[in-house]
Amino acid sequence: MALVPFDDRDGWIWMDGDFVPWREAKTHVLTHALHYGSSVFEGERMYGGEIFKLTEHSERLARSANLLDFELPYSVAEIDQACKDTCARMGMEDAYVRPLAYLGPEQVSVSALNNKAHVAIAVWDWPSYFDPEIKRKGIRLEWAKWRRPDPLTAPTTAKASGLYMICTMSKNAAEKRGYSDAMMLDWRGYVAEATGANVFFVQDGVIHTPDVTHILNGITRQTVIDLARARGIEVVVRHIRPEELSTFSECFLTGSAAEVTPVSEIGEYRFTPGDISLGLMEAYGRLVRRQA
């Protein structure tokens, strides 16, 4: 199936308070964000007409912008409504929602004191992030070459566009070698996350997941922890060394795009999707669709 470029589609995109025809939703080549990475974004899913955890996403967008030293020109409530309005304008009830906040072209230098913040929101159809048939069997990951940065070197808890370049490089490398994704370590060598999803492991009926003090604390991650604990499953948040993966029986990823995705392989380590990972995958699916 031919890939349809994202700049050549029908529809509307919300930009700074107005709806712009999809193909006309553009910014200048000298936009600060394009040169210096001054942009933040969210990835949200609409199920049956309701965007899951919408306000939590809008609040995180605002926090991310503040961490990059700029403020959204709209309130959280206004961003919430704009997301809903964009979905309605596109006539969608099941969709992926992408709010983006970025600094414009007023000044092109490292300094951005004179740059205006802009917000755009686009929505589109997006089925399963991973192939559904492969997903139940567990996807294969390799180890990423790149590591999540030291929090003293970057705003690591922001969902900032610039922080994803090493994720793109890692995922591209993995896909070229036949893997679905890559697992990244943090700057100290502890297991951190996949390129766009948090990770969980199962050992003797107990779930273990990395501490996220210095990486993105995914909204889906928080939801799945709540689901697991509500089912009586213990969840331990701690630092996990790579060599510990040999002691885990199950592994799964979580994210708004990935939802809950079992993993069968990370490098030299093997896992078998079981009752916990498959059960939480199904429970999460029921939750997001029940709230729709």
Which residue of the set 84, 159, 171, 176 is catalytic?
159
CA torsion angle 284 133 198 142 (round to 10): 170
What is 222-252 written as a DSSP string?
Answer: HHHHHHHHHTT--EEEE---GGGGGG-SEEE
* Cβ atoms within 10 Å of 27's Cβ, excluding its own: 15
List, in order, residues 6 or more apart from 173 with CB less than 8 Å away. Answer: 142, 144, 145, 182
Assess whether 116 carries a catalytic annotation.
no
80: phi then psi, degrees, rounded to nearest 5: -55, -50
List, in order, residues 6 or more apart from 254 with CB less than 8 Å away. Answer: 197, 198, 199, 200, 218, 220, 221, 223, 224, 260, 261, 284
Length of the chain equals: 292
Are the CB atoms for 65 and 72 separated by under 8 Å?
A: yes
How is residue 184 written in tokens?
A: 């990244």
Residue appearing with tokens 């809950």: 260
Residue appearing with tokens 């969210």: 42
Catalytic residue set: 159
